[in-house]
Amino acid sequence: MASPSVAKMPTTTNEVAVSITGMHKWYGEFHVLKDINLTVHRGERIVICGPSGSGKSTMIRCINRLEEHQQGKIVVDGIELTNDLKKIDEIRREVGMVFQHFNLFPHLTILENCTLAPIWVKKMPKKDAEEVAMHYLKRVRIPEQAMKYPGQLSGGQQQRVAIARALCMSPKIMLFDEPTSALDPEMVKEVLDTMVGLAEEGMTMLCVTHEMGFARQVANRVIFMDYGQIIEMNEPAAFFSNPQHERTKLFLSQIL
Ligand code: ADP
Ligand code: MG
């Protein structure tokens, strides 16, 4: 990757951004997340990896209540996630999410995709929302695509729009769920570079990804999940050079 090494990454703080304690989740009878404990400090960048089906998506989706947990506690920026819809709304405003399949609205232009939530959720005047959107489209380096529709853009460009769209809500925390795994290989780098840029600016990030170069470059900690549990968590250098658990070793031998 052309971009900088870990040394350039901003330092983290002691302020807690996300705290998950003793969290369990079931899908019907299926116990998908088992006793998840994780504290993420403001400015930290966490990479989550693990085999398919291990619960990575479910775990990060619980943080903005796209999935509901049944036991334990999740606190985001000081707000506990309960059934209180007002609190769920509040949390969703602070947490941006980028999915594997972009999830842009196909019938709206790139600019409209980016201004929709600021106008309807934040009640921002249209003109201001457009200004903010153009700012972030410039930042992901595709302002010239603003008037096009998602279908006219490459996968890498669409994913950068998805990142810009999330940033338009001024999130304090960004969740990424395998943002590059649906992309053609030549487009992976442009999306990862955008994410590295966000990390350099101090964004708190939880990223499910198997891009281990990215993990080495930006992560404070790498988490390995298997069968619904956090099996191992360490800083990247130690995680890759000296994994503690057999399952982590096996997984790394398969992907590296
Ligand atoms: P990962 O992201 O690590 O691949 P997921 O969180 O998507 O894992 O899924 C974890 C497990 O939960 C898998 O066995 C998956 O089949 C199951 N699962 C995911 N979503 C649902 C759902 N909505 N209903 C029932 N089971 C689900
Ligand atoms: Mg997943």
Residue nearest to atom 15 of ligand 1 (CA): 53
- Helices 126-139 & 110-120 angle (0-180, nearest 10): 130
> Domain total for the chain?
1
- Report how far residue 247's alpha carbon sits from residue 232's, in angstroms, rounded to the nearest whole number: 9
214 domain residue, yes or no:
yes
Any domain includes 48:
yes
Q: Is 34 helix (H, G, I), strand (E, B) or coil?
A: strand
Cα of 96 vs centre of ligand 1, distance in Å, is 21
Strand-pair category, 45-49 with 30-41: unpaired
Distance CA 190, CA 136 (A): 15
Structure confidence by residue, pLDDT tens digits, 19-59 = 999 999 999 999 999 999 999 999 999 999 999 999 999 99
Query: Is 179 part of any domain?
Result: yes
Using a 6 Å cutoff on CB, does residue 160 contact ligand 1? no
| 118 CB near ligand 1 (under 6 Å) | no
* Ligand 1 contact via 36 beta carbon (within 6 Å): no
Exposure class string for 78-117: b at 16+ Cβ within 10 A, else e: eeebeeeeeebeebbbbbbbbbbebebeeeebbbbbbbbb
Would 156 be classed as within a structural domain? no
Q: Is residue 117 part of a domain?
A: no
120 CA from centroid of ligand 2 (Å): 29
User: Burial, 31: exposed, middle or buried (Cβ in 10 Å; 0-12, 13-18, 19+)?
Assistant: middle
Is residue 209 within 6 Å of ligand 1 at its C-beta?
no
In terms of residue numbers, what domain contains 53?
Answer: 16-101+173-254
Domain CATH for 41: 3.40.50.300
Beta strands 45-49 and 71-76, pairing class: unpaired
Confirm or reject: Cβ of 27 under 6 Å from ligand 1: yes
Choosing from 29, 30, 58, 206 the residue with most ligand 1 atoms within 8 A of its CB, the one to mutate for a pocket test is 58
Q: Mean pLDDT for the chain?
A: 95
Nearest ligand to the CA atom of 27: 1
pLDDT tens for the 256 residues of the chain, in order: 444 455 578 888 889 999 999 999 999 999 999 999 999 999 999 999 999 999 999 999 999 999 999 999 999 999 999 999 999 999 999 999 999 999 999 999 999 999 999 999 999 999 999 999 999 999 999 999 999 999 999 999 999 999 999 999 999 999 999 999 999 999 999 999 999 999 999 999 999 999 999 999 999 999 999 999 999 999 999 999 999 999 999 999 998 7
- Is any atom of ligand 1 closer than 6 Å to the C-beta of 32? yes
Half-sphere exposure of 190 (CA within 13 A, CB side): 18
Residue 126 within any structural domain of the chain: no
pTM over 0.90: yes
Ligand nearest, relative to CA of residue 53: 1
In a domain, 224, yes or no: yes
Question: Is 234 among the domain residues?
Answer: yes
